[in-house]
């Protein structure tokens, strides 16, 4: 990896796609803490980034020097199984078109957000960036994972042919205050928090959880991820993808027990083995991010869960969406 001078973000015109979303709100906060004032956030109501017209309108309006592409159509296992076509098409087209227009307009940096779902189903743990091409992703989220992986190909091809300064980051599952708690589309932690909180309020004696509980996952507190993204925008300059994680693996069974403890649910846990586990294991090797960015996640899992549950309780009805 070649040495580069850090980008001074405070002086740049920055477009953050998905800036109104869960992760995006934390990225905006981190940018403003660094003195960034010229930030543009395209909203889906006026800038449909799946269409080229929407992408061009966003670039024309903001004239960005740096693009941080966070916008995505995402969800848990259930949502991925229901929407494989739109998860593939929408995520692919947003990224492909944004990067192409960014190349044409010779912006100084493009930061693309990939996903841990791009890794092969049976990747040896911990996942090393070099393993990303060694097999097919887990089937329930393969369309999403492959769409994101094509953006890695585009990033590398554009750097090779055009000298285009783009990078590709692959974060693990995120969680934290402001997450999506809608049971139709939420990821595992907010889904379980809501399930346990609802059971406590209703006095239910049992909750039902998908799968066997044997699968493992790695989770990263959203504010830590936002810091890693900004550090990468400032300091990372390589064709190679970059893992962003906490380097802490936990079984779904242990996760459920931990959330039950934090929420006060004391009933039974029934495992629905007719539902899929998803990828058997997930945990990233984060050495490259430590060496390249000096990034190490500093929010403990218990502290992150506590803050997330407190936010959900305080949000009331707003936290239900």
Query: Tokens standing for 236?
Result: 């990372």
178 conformational bin, left if phi > 0, alpha if psi -120 to 50, beta if neither:
left
Q: What are the phi and psi torsion angles at 244 (to 5°)?
A: -125, 110
Q: Which residues of 101-118 are buried (b: 16+ CB within 10 A; e: fewer)?
A: bbbeeebebbbbbbbbbb
Strands 206-210 and 268-272: parallel
> Quick one: DSSP state of residue 154?
H
Backbone dihedral angles phi then psi of residue 268, each to the nearest 5 degrees: -80, 155
Cis peptide before 164 (omega within 30 of 0): no
Environment class of residue 84 by beta-carbon count within 10 Å: exposed (0-12), middle (13-18) or buried (19+)?
A: middle
Residue tagged active-site, from 119, 144, 175, 221:
144
Beta bridge partners of 111: 68, 167
**Quick one: tokens of 274?**
């007719």
Active site residue 119: no
Comparing CA positions, the residue from 216, 197, 217 lying closest to residue 207 is 197
Give the integer Cα–Cα distance in Å for 49 and 263. 38
Annotated active-site positions, please? 144
């Amino acid at each position: 990896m070649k040495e580069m001078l850090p980008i001074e973000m405070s002086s740049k015109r920055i477009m953050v796609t998905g800036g109104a979303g869960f992760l995006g709100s934390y990225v905006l906060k981190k940018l403003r803490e660094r003195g960034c004032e010229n930030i543009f956030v395209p909203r889906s109501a006026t800038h449909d980034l799946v269409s080229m017209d929407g992408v061009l309108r966003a670039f024309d309006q903001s004239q960005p020097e740096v693009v941080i592409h966070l916008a995505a159509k995402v969800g848990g296992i259930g949502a991925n199984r229901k929407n494989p076509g739109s998860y593939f098409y929408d995520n692919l087209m947003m990224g492909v078109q944004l990067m192409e227009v960014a190349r044409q307009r010779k912006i100084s940096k493009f930061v693309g957000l990939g996903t841990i779902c791009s890794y092969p189903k049976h990747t040896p743990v911990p996942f090393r960036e070099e393993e990303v091409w060694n097999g097919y992703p887990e089937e329930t989220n393969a369309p999403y994972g492959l769409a994101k992986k094509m953006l890695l190909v585009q990033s590398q091809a554009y750097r090779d042919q055009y000298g285009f300064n783009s990078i590709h980051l692959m974060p693990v599952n995120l969680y934290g205050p402001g997450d999506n708690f809608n049971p139709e589309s939420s990821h595992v932690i907010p889904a379980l928090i809501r399930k346990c909180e609802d059971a406590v309020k209703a006095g239910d004696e049992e909750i039902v959880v998908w799968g066997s509980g044997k699968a493992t996952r790695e989770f990263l507190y959203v504010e830590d991820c936002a810091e890693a993204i900004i550090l990468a925008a400032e300091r990372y300059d390589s064709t190679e993808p970059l893992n962003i994680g906490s380097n802490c693996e936990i079984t779904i069974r242990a996760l459920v027990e931990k959330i039950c403890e934090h929420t006060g649910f004391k009933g039974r846990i029934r495992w629905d083995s007719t539902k899929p586990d998803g990828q058997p294991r997930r945990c990233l090797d984060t050495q490259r991010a430590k060496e390249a960015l000096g990034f190490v996640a500093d929010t403990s899992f218990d502290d992150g869960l506590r803050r997330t549950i407190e936010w959900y309780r305080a949000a009331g009805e707003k936290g239900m969406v």
